[in-house]
């Protein structure tokens, strides 16, 4: 049965203690699972991913170590494993060995890296989709051979930018083409950085973490609107040479 007895729940509490102030009462969990998709991390990102999987009736198993997230996953009808997705025993018990696809949706890059390393080593046949957090992390994940990665805010920011253009009176088709051009430029730059290093394709980048740089040539120089901004821009100019 997918629902554990009270005695089994007590055992699970001993193995993976619930955070202070959180209760496992009412949480349905399972062990020895099988399924085609394993989702590690059921926060806001993982929940959005699972909406699509739910719509197509994919067999989904969730791993999370947050009781509230586990309870939320229960409303989706998914199979659930309460535990730490960076542990091999947890991955095994949650069905990683039979998963066709492992989706790493955790909210910390170092945790994502640990999961990626473990899955690549122990379950090399599973496709590995990973939430990345910035440009440096995206390049690292691609170098490790993940099947797909996406920066967590990239696509939503592009859509936001497109709608901002439309609000300013730009034709929607033109705004869409602009966003597609930016997307292609960004992908090309990322590919260049993969092979030539993080500084490639972005001559304005002079320090870590990676400094944002425009993908199209600005029409004018930046204008400071108060003395404080002028001082900051002057410092940046001196630093950049």
pLDDT digits (tens, 9 = 90+) for 5-16: 333 333 333 334
Torsion of CA 88, 90, 95, 97, to 10 degrees: 10
Q: Examine the pLDDT at 119 and tell me if it is beyond 80.
A: yes
Q: Examine the pLDDT at 68 and tell me if it is beyond 90.
A: no
Provide the token pair at 161.
Answer: 């930018």
Percent of the chain having pLDDT more than 90? 51
pTM of the model: 0.71
Mean pLDDT over 33-61 rounds to 89
More confident residue, 234 or 39: 39
Cα angle: 235, vertex 238, 241; to 5 degrees: 145
Q: Are 99 and 126 in contact (CB under 8 A)?
A: yes
pLDDT recorded at residue 76: 84
Torsion of CA 214, 219, 222, 223, to 10 degrees: -150
DSSP notation for 1-64: --SPPHHHHHHHHHHSPPPTT---TT----SS---SEEEE--SHHHHHHHHHHHHTT--EEEEE
pLDDT in tens, 202-223: 543 334 444 566 666 666 676 6
CA dihedral (153, 158, 163, 169) positive or negative: positive
**Element containing residue 82 per DSSP (H, E):** strand 79-82
């Amino acid at each position: 049965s997918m629902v554990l007895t009270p005695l089994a729940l007590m055992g699970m509490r001993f193995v993976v203690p619930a955070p202070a102030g959180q209760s496992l009462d009412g949480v349905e969990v399972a062990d020895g699972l099988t399924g085609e998709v394993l989702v590690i991390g059921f926060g806001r990102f993982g929940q959005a991913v699972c909406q699509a999987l739910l719509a197509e009736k994919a067999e989904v198993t969730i791993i999370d170590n947050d009781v509230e997230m586990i309870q939320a996953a229960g409303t989706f009808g998914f199979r659930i494993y309460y535990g730490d997705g960076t542990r091999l025993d947890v991955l095994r018990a949650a069905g990683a060995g039979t998963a066709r696809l492992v989706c790493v949706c955790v909210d910390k890059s170092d945790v994502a890296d640990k999961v990626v390393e473990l899955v690549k080593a122990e379950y090399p046949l599973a496709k590995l989709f990973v939430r990345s957090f910035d440009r440096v992390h995206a390049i690292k994940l691609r170098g490790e051979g993940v099947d797909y990665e996406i920066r967590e805010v990239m696509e939503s920011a592009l859509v936001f930018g497109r709608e901002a253009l439309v609000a300013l009176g730009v034709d929607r088709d033109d705004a869409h083409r602009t966003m597609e051009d930016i997307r292609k430029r960004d992908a090309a730059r990322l590919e260049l950085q993969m092979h030539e290093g993080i500084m490639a394709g972005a001559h304005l980048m002079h320090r870590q973490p990676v400094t944002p740089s425009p993908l199209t040539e600005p029409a004018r120089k930046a204008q400071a609107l108060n003395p404080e901004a002028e001082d900051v821009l002057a410092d940046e100019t001196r630093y950049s040479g």
